[in-house]
Amino acid sequence: MSIPIDGPQSGAAKVLHAPEDQAILDRFAGALGETRRELPQRIATDSDKVERDLARLVLSVIELLRQLLEKQATRRVESGVLSAEEIERLGLTLMKLEARMDELKTAFGLQDQELRLDLGPLRDLVNELQC
Amino acid sequence: MMSYVYAVTDRPDEPLPQQLGFGDEALAQVVFRDIGAVVSAHGGPHVPGAVDEVWRHEQVVESLMSAHAVVPMRFGTLLASCDEVESMLRRGYPHFVDDIARVRDHVEIGIRFLTLLKPDAALSTSASAHSHLPASDGIAQPAMAPGTAFLRTKLLREHERRDRRHAELELVRKTYRVLAKHAAASKLDDDSVDAPTLSAAFLVHRGGFASFRQLVARLADVDRDLAFLCTGPWPAYSFVSTHLSKLTQGTGS
């Protein structure tokens, strides 16, 4: 039996089945876009942009570390080894950190989705921490 | 000149298709025993990663599939010379032969799954998520210390996320298992904890391609909690074991 392998010209020729609902297709497109989202490969040298791009880069790293700290904290709470006082102290620290991050994001006009890092192989490490 | 490698095939005595490679360079073959690598000359150490180049790679590989069993190389496989290509074939010969036997007369079909569960459908265990936190009747009672309330909220969200992901994975795995029974081999990429879609690849015999496609459409009709984006037929990229990095001495890019 012959099947149509004759060199594609575009991705549309390769779609065998897709949802008819445009809203669902948009979600697929959004999901694919999300996996490709990454920080700009170069920092803009335009003086208007350079500060924001640098802030975006630095805050992305800080946000990643903050989220890792948060995951680690919830793990420790779940493990049951922390006293009530320790939980409160940890919670207050993370709360202040989150509030401070929110202030910085507002100051530089950055949205949460702009601070997601494409971690490449490091993604597995982060996923492991999330499990 | 460097050599861009598209694929390794059986029957190197067969003429190559009238298909041009990158930069409209002619295809050539480097032969070792009964297998051959299909290459084209390449001017520099980098391959532009534009969409057109990716499709050109795909066109070359697929044009080979009409007359050969094809072990596709990943886009961007570049070796220093034809001697390096031959050396790769020599070192990897047993693996290439195994791969060729596995993919002969088969194609790859890819499916992306998107779960359409309602937001509260998966939440069954979250209510018991924080027995280890100081007692409270609500998530953020006024009486609760602020730091503890903050962590309680985070913990609840974390459990909701895990429950939801668990339910999504179960839904996808159920359908994946049905499809896998109709494939020679299959893979489900369910490692990404928060990926919005899950990907699966199926190695399907050419003779079973149409019925597999119909099965996908039927399952998609039946399962209203799961959406499918199915593509193919592709060369069997996900089902070859021969990785260039194992076969070269650092000259591949």
- Return the percentage of chain A with pLDDT > 70, whole number: 68
Cis ω for the linkage preceding B233 (within 30 of 0): yes
| Per-domain residue ranges of chain A | 47-130
What confidence score (pLDDT) does residue A118 get? 62
- SS3 annotation, B3-61: EEEEEEEECCCCCCCCCECHHHCECEEEEECCEEEEEEEECCCCCCCCHHHHHHHHHHH
pLDDT above 80: residue B223: yes
Q: CA torsion sign, A41 to A46 to A47 to A52? A: negative
- Which chain B residues in 221-240 lie under 8 Å from chain A, judged by CB atoms? 227-234
pLDDT above 80: residue B140: no
With an 8 Å Cβ cutoff, is B179 touching chain A? Answer: no
What digits encode the pLDDT tens for the residues A23-38?
888 888 877 765 554 4
pTM score, whole prediction: 0.77
pLDDT above 50: residue B138: no
Least confident of A5-19, A51-65, B212-226: A5-19
Alpha-carbon gap: A131 to the closest alpha carbon of chain B (Å): 8
Mutate to test the interface with B, among A17, A27, A118 (most CBs of B within 10 A): A17
Contacts B150 to A, Cβ<8 Å: 91-92, 94-95
Listed ranges A8-17, A70-79, B15-24, B203-212; the one with the highest mean pLDDT: B203-212
Q: Using an 8 Å Cβ cutoff, are B59 and A8 in contact?
A: yes
What digits encode the pLDDT tens for the residues B73-126?
999 899 999 999 999 999 999 999 999 999 999 999 999 999 888 766 555 544
- Which chain B residues in 45-64 lie under 8 Å from chain A, judged by CB atoms? 55, 58-60, 62-63
Q: Using an 8 Å Cβ cutoff, are B106 and B205 in contact?
A: yes
- B18 or A128, higher pLDDT: B18
Contacts A17 to B, Cβ<8 Å: 213, 216-217, 220, 228-230
